[in-house]
Amino acid sequence: MSQEPQTEWQGQPTYQKRGVLGHARELFRLRHDKSTSRVGLAAVCFVGLFSLIGGRLVHLAVTSENTSEVRRAASSEISAARPDIVDRNGEILATDVKMVSVFAEPRNIVDKDEAVELLTAVLPDLDATDLRNKLGTKKGFVWVKREITPRQQAEVHRLGIPGIGFLPENKRVYPNAEAAAHVLGFANVDNVGIAGIEKYIDSMGLQDLNGAGFNISAADLKPIQLSLDLRVQHALRDELAKGMAKFKAKATAGAILDVNTGEIIALVSLPDYDPNNPVDALDKDRINRINVGVFEMGSTFKALTVAMALDSGKYNINSTFDARSGLRYGRFTIGDYHPTRRVLTTPEVFVHSSNIGTARMALGIGVEGHKAFLRKMGQLTRLETELPENALPIIPPRWGELNTMTIAFGHGLAVAPLQALSAVGALVNGGIMIKPTFLKRTQEEARQNALQVLKPETSEAMRYVMRLNASTPEGSAGNASIAGFFVGGKTGTAEKVINGRYAKNKNFTTFTAVVPSDKPKYVFLTIMDEPQAIEGTYGFSTAGWNAAPVTGNIIERIAPLLGVPPRFEPPVQPFPLMSRLGAWGSNR
């Protein structure tokens, strides 16, 4: 029997069993007919490789520092820049300094527990649990710690943790610490104004620009120039602190107003706070008592009553008022603290601080006339200044004759001290009501929107009686009458209202001084909350024994800084109209 050749059958399985490896070997043999396949395979490999790289780049573009969240954080740093705040002489009161903050991209942190451990070792004040929770999110951006030191930045950088980065930020700094704290206010960690002039700056459009995404640097912003004088501010704070300690007062405050421009030259309220670390700024004892507090101003309000009486034309400087006995109204009797029990002229009513005399003046004008005058003098509405913190006065809901009688001598109406100070400025500057400001301005700018609220003759009469009160033995302002400065003034003592009742042993004392009283430039205000009687005050805690001498010390120290040097000879004929009318005291 014949058989098939073995060679053909035996070679066939060798060809059929050639697998992928065999094909690959065959492909890469240096044979001309295999070149097309090799090029195709190389092209496929390159396409795959570049696709992989491109995908990774897209991933990084979405999740790395170029994320919208990181970009927003970076741009907010630029837009959060704030303008410098300077005093009237160009001294820096507030400025920005560059700081660095640490951020994290949780999606790019591989070992979150290790990152927490390393970061808390370098930044020990971080809360580990809070940080772990932040890193456990799927957010593209979270803050780790704001405003770190350069040394801390170097230590974090050395950790080399992927997903941890740094952003430059602006930190608001107040180089004079507590000085002018209640005027400046402060900015938070995001450099947003929270109070005072800082909040005013934002309200003028800075935050609108920030919100619109404009990249603003501090160099693009013109400094805000205030009316404050830093030298005067420091001196005022120092003298108030001394007075507060001496008379063991709960609190004290003071302000100085330029009567011709309405500029606030200095404002202090103690206790205060450091705006660099305003942790206790919201403490109720640290409010701005000049703007935010409302108080019954006591006898300092008698200046307004006397001015109202004189300006009405119904009374003049030689009018008389019966103070021989108490003034009865129903079951109430109004008496004088130091009764004279005689008929008093207009200047005597002021100098003796007669409650009876001023009540009779107000009754003569009438309830509606009294209210209209106080409204004209800005005492019945909120005083608006650049500071957002301005308090509403507390007005009697039903204002009758008894209210008019008591308000005439400073009881029953509570106002912000700056309101009262502004009104006194109008009493002595020729009768022009100028809205107070914390921004520097000229006299011409101030008078553009000013109102003539009193006759010039009335203003001279008020300067005259205020000077009498400081220069005659009967007056209560003698302790503030510093030689050479021709001081005029008025004291005020009011019992504080505690739980709806007047507390006999808790006084709120005030003193308003005009310097110089013949040609006024400045009005000084000092208030003291619950001053105590001390050795030398003979058991008294009224304004003449505490607020007045403190104001005298302030005037003696500050007037030369304000360009008011002492005069060794008294002015000749400082009040010509009063001399011509033969007013009480004009021949002294």
CB 269 within 8 A of CB 456: no
| Contact of 552 with 520, CB cutoff 8 Å | no
Residue 63 CA to residue 57 CA, distance in Å, equals: 10
- Give the residue numbers marked as catalytic: 299
Q: Is the pLDDT of residue 49 over 80?
A: no
In tens, the pLDDT along 541-568 reads: 999 999 999 999 999 999 999 999 999 8
CA distances from 278 to 36, 283, 286, 388 (A): 77, 10, 11, 18
* Tens-place pLDDT, residues 493-539: 998 878 778 887 899 999 999 999 999 999 999 999 999 999 999 99
Give the sign of the dihedral formed by CA 252, CA 462, CA 478, CA 490: negative
What backbone torsions phi and psi does residue 172 show, to the nearest 5 degrees?
Answer: -80, 130
Q: What is the pLDDT of residues 301-354, one digit of tens each?
A: 999 999 999 999 999 999 999 999 999 998 999 999 889 999 999 999 999 999
Tell me the backbone φ, ψ of residue 468, rounded to 5 degrees: -55, -40
CB 142 within 8 A of CB 134: yes
Q: Is the per-residue pLDDT at 37 higher than 80?
A: no
Residues contacting residue 308 through CB under 8 Å, at least 6 positions apart = 361, 362, 365, 369, 370, 373
DSSP 307-318: HHHHHHSS--TT
Other beta carbons within 10 angstroms of residue 160's beta carbon come to 8
Q: Which residues is 94 bridged to in the sheet? A: 85
Is residue 35 over pLDDT 70? Answer: no
Residue 340: φ, ψ to 5°: -95, -25
| Domain spans, the chain | 85-107+114-123+140-225, 232-581
The answer to whether the beta carbons of residues 456 and 573 sit under 8 Å apart is no
Q: Are 249 and 546 within 8 A, CB to CB? A: yes
Decide: 73 and 65 in contact? Cβ < 8 Å: no
More confident residue, 190 or 415: 415
Residue 211: per-residue pLDDT: 47
Q: What is the rounded CA–CA span in Å between residue 118 and residue 155?
A: 10
Phi first, then psi, for residue 26 (nearest 5°) are: -65, -40
DSSP strand pairing (85-86 vs 343-345): unpaired
Classify 85-107+114-123+140-225 by CATH class: alpha beta
Cβ-proximal residues to 14 (8 Å cutoff; 6+ apart), any chain? none
Question: What does the pLDDT read at residue 548?
Answer: 97
Average pLDDT, rounded, for the chain = 88
Q: Which CATH class is domain 232-581?
A: alpha beta
Tell whether the model's pLDDT for residue 296 goes beyond 70.
yes
pLDDT over threshold 90, residue 59: no
Q: Are 471 and 481 in contact (CB under 8 A)?
A: yes
H or E stretch at 122: helix 112-122
